Structure 1
Amino acid sequence: MIKQLVSNRVVNYFTESKKQSPYQIQFNNIYQIKFNRGVLRYMQYLQQFIIGGRTMVAGNQRVKMHNQKIQDFDAVSLYPSAMSRCYYPTGVPKCLNQNMISYYNDINNLKQITLDQNSKDQNTLYLQVKLKRTSKFINRTFPLVSEIDENGVRQFNNNFDETKCYYYDVISLQDLVEFQQVDYEIISGIYFEGRNYKIQEVVTQMFNKRKHYKSIKNPIQVIYKLILNSAYGKTIECIHDTKVELVDSQGFAKLVLKQVSNIVSTEQVGNKYIVTIRQEVCDSYAFTYIGSLILSTSKRIMNEVMCTADDNNLPIFYQDTDSMQIEIDSINILKQKFQEKYNRELIGENMGQFHTDYESDLGKVLYADQAVYVAKKVYCARLVVQSKENPNELLIDYHIRMKGASIGAIDKECNEKYEGDYIKLYENLFNHHNTTTFDLCANKPVFQFKGLEVKTMDNFYREIKFPLNKFEKQFEKRYIQQILEDFLRNSKK
């Protein structure tokens, strides 16, 4: 069945994302043979439009929640949902001339470009712009504007630099205007004139097949799921200007004779050589302009829901790309407000819809009554679970995430120092002065891979600390200043 799905030998592909490429190309002509060489010259330029999913604590401020009823509100197959709404640009990319720049600097003209096939304007724009605050600018709890900080991490915040140039495709720029009331000035850009909507049919077909096989408990549904979730991954693959080869001494001698001017580095490991060779960039990997649109459409799906919640004062505490942590009481209100605004059902199991997604091996998760959100990818929620063995019994479980520490390491630290209470462990991390040391060798072997050798590590400790980020420092400074002002004001009285 898998062989039929990818129309080739399964062993030809190491990953699911590799399997999906021939499925799209051979059966559905999505890529229209191969991308034209006109895209190649813009590859590095187009790479700047790749902006990954938003992951952050609300307002970039760590927060603790107690005596709440919180749920994980998750998008159904976010990236396939995005692909089912967008299209693939086709044709040779062209530069915007001055007349077109002036034309699209009018927001009403920019809005003429829509995702549907009946769009009044069929152009797809990739723009270098400067952003401007307007009197109607909306400070969002989960902002749309992002920048790479000094540590190389993408941060979403409301404080953008009006003198700096940003890179947005037409979908992202439209969302900035729609959801944050940002004004813009186009500096330069390129555009595609054609569109191919075949991807919508393909993704919908595969999603429905996966749904069918899942309903009859056929394990192939997992393959469909993996292919669907990784299908866009190949479109955002970075430019490869080098390749690595492993050769023996005889092969190394031949390689030096043929590629001496292109060899970047060599490393001898035993009787083998690891050789890094400079190579020409291949236009068959110039898919970034498609990946950019898929990512932007996925963020639009999230923005439609989260900005509707924000506009109606329904607090969201944390977002991790395709999910958000929100109070249960807010979900029904959000469902109604979303229906009124977009005329679509918010809750369901189809693409583009959302559902609650906390899971526990103990039974059905009712809600989280406590949560600590420390930083991006670092949070803990205490779950109230209805026992699957006795529905009248309520149990406690935990939903934990911590980038940089394994589950085994967290379990060991929690059991040894906090009597199994994960909330207390995360409250300790919440204090920006505290440092916690995790044993990454706990409960499992840890291997070191170096120079084609594999070694078992006897110990591996990692110290983790979460100092105040720049947004929290700004908040703390304003808070202290406010206290001083209040003190001086009261002293005068």
Structure 2
Amino acid sequence: MKDEMLSTEYLMRHLFDDDQKEPIGEKFMSGFFVLIKITEIGIPRHFHLIVCDPELNPELNVPRSSNTCCLMYVDHITLQDLIKYQGVKCEVLQGYYYDGNRDMRIRDEVKKLFELRLKYKKEENPLQEIIKLILNSIYGKTILSPIESKITIVDDKDAIRYAIRNYNHIVKFEGLDGSDKTIFKLTKSICRHFNFCPLGVNILSMSKRIMNEVFCTAEDMGLQIFYQDTDSMHLYNEDIPKLAAEFKKRYGRELIGKNLGQFHSDFAEITPGKQSLAYKSIFCGKKTYIDLLTNDLNEVAFHCRMKGVKQDVIALTANEMFPEAIQCYYNEDKN
């Protein structure tokens, strides 16, 4: 970027509008990535949008997510949100901008996959799980880190020949116990590695914006949010209509529903047709919590989450640790 471009006013003035696809007049920037120095935070929030990277700010001994003036890398979406939701003022130090067309085909592809999954889900077709995995992997694939090693399993009778042919790349090898196989770990060249970081960063920033709209609206209204995650939150049931009404007023969209960008209850129904609510909750940490669910029939069940640990494993472990307590039963259909 040229020196005259290094200001938020310049960047915002020349940035594409949200649905703009081609450069028009002074709106010639389809996107940018910049390093900023935050100098003022107009709206300190409980829900922080600022990320203080310790590698960029080694002199600051503060939590990674905090209301702290610091250096921060941002794209155009994140900078817009920092200004809008936290009233941030900053200096733009350096960066890159794009002046070509904005490719929005990813929107159409995601919408197609989303609608296809809804169709299969309605038909109770297990293919819907495959579509769900594809949808979840799109973002991760765009920012895939280099794969620097690979594992190969070879028959023992071929191991020496394989080692001779690949000795420049072998990190280590060992025999597999109880088998006639040898496992090799090799370095893998990254010269052919490819990802699509600019798109991946924009997807991540847009996913955060979807949450920023809801979280910041709730905080502005003084509503209590007990726990928030990548795509969910716990709040009082009676506050949902108030939040939905204010959201509609601000953004002109329906908050509650099952379409793209909307929110709905993630609690499984104990009895079909009877909404479940969390009567009590224990939040142990990030992505680790348990809710005691109940409904109008006074039935109870648990909604448990532990990142990376399957539900049936949690139930089995609880039963083993507390054999005298009421035993847990995991219903896979209801999750």
Q: Structure 1-normalised TM-score?
A: 0.56
Alpha carbons 2:45, 2:67 under 8 Å: kept: no
In the alignment, is residue 371 of structure 1 matched against residue 277 of structure 2? no
2:174 aligned residue: 267
Residues paired across the two proteins, number: 310
Cα contact 2:8–2:92 (8 A) shared by 1: no
Relative to 1, partners in 2 of residues 1:420 and 1:139: Cα closer, same or farther, differing over 3 Å? farther
Is 1:304 aligned with 2:213?
yes
Q: Kindly provide the amino acid, as one letter, of the partner of residue 117 in structure 1.
A: Q
Unaligned runs of 5+ in 2: 56-62, 331-335
Contact 2:48 2:67 in 1 (8 A): no
- Kept in 2: contact 1:360–1:397 (CA 8 A): no
Q: How does 1:402-481 map to 2 (within 5 A)?
A: 402-403=306-307, 406-413=314-321, 416=324, 419-420=325-326
Q: Identify the range of structure 1 (110-119 vs 309-318) with the bigger mean alpha-carbon deviation.
A: 110-119
State the partner residue of 2:115.
208
Measured after TM superposition, the shift of residue 350 of structure 1 is 1.0
Of residues 276, 298, 307, the one that matches 2:185 is 276
Offset, 1:383 = 1.4
2:151 — aligned with what?
A: 244
Matched letter for residue 267 of structure 2: Y
- Compute the RMSD of aligned alpha carbons: 3.0
Match of 2:93 in 1: 187
Change (3 A) 1:414 1:302: farther
Partner of 1:58: none
Query: How has the CA–CA distance of structure 1 residues 98 and 281 changed in structure 2, closer, same or farther, with 3 Å as cutoff?
Result: same
Aligned partner of 2:50 in structure 1 is 145
Identity of aligned residues (%): 34
SS at match of 2:102: strand
Return the letter of the residue paired with 2:262.
Q
1:437-487 Cα distance to aligned partner (Å, 9 max, x none):
xxxxxx9xxxxxxxxxxxxxxxxxxxxxxxxxxxxxxxxxxxxxxxxxxxx
CA distance 1:354–1:245, change in 2 (3 Å): same
Quick one: higher RCO (CA 8 Å, sep 6+), 1 or 2? 1
Whole-angstrom CA distance in 2 between matches of 1:160 and 1:268: 53
Unaligned segments of structure 1, at least 5 residues = 1-96, 387-392, 423-442, 444-493
SS at match of 2:68: coil
Tell me if the contact between 1:383 and 1:398 (Cα under 8 Å) persists in the aligned partners: yes
Aligned to 1:117: 20
The equivalent position to 1:382 in structure 2, one of 285, 292, 316, is 292
Match of 1:289 among 193, 198, 215: 198
Corresponding residue for 2:66? 158
| 8 Å Cα contact 1:385/1:397 also seen in 2 | no
Q: Name whichever structure is richer in strand by fraction.
A: 1
> 2:298 aligns to what?
394
Equivalent residue of 2:275, what SS? strand
Taking structure 1 as reference, are residues 214 and 249 closer, same or farther at Cα in structure 2, changes over 3 Å only?
closer
Taking a change above 3 Å as real, the CA distance of residues 108 and 260 of structure 1, as seen in their structure-2 partners, is same
Is residue 2:12 matched to residue 1:106?
Answer: no
1:205 Cα deviation after fit: 1.8
Normalising by the residue count of structure 2, what TM-score does the alignment of the two structures yield? 0.80
Aligned partners of 1:262, 1:247: CA distance in 2, in Å?
Answer: 15
What CA distance in whole angstroms lies between the structure 2 residues aligned with 1:272 and 1:161? 56
Task: Pick from 258, 261, 265 the counterpart of residue 349 of structure 1.
Answer: 258
Identify, as 1 or 2, the structure richer in helix. 1
Distance 1:239 1:212, change over 3 A: same
User: 172-181 vs 267-276, which deviates more?
Assistant: 267-276
SS at match of 1:174: helix
Matched to 1:399, the amino acid is H
Offset at residue 147 of structure 1 (A): 4.7
User: Counterparts of 2:89 and 2:161 in 1: how far apart (Å)?
Assistant: 59
- Corresponding residue SS for 1:146: coil
CA displacement 1:121-173 (0-9 Å, x = unmatched) = 44322223332333x2x2222211235689xxxx65324362xx432222122
Judge conservation of contact 1:248–1:272 (CA < 8 Å) in 2: yes
Tell whether the 8 Å contact from 2:229 to 2:287 is kept in structure 1 after alignment. Answer: yes
Q: Post-superposition, which runs of at least 4 consecutive aligned residues in structure 1 deviate over 6 A? A: none
CA distance in 2 between counterparts of 1:161 and 1:254 reads 59
Secondary structure of residue in 2 paired with 1:133 = strand
Q: Distance in 2 between matches of 1:145 and 1:157?
A: 6
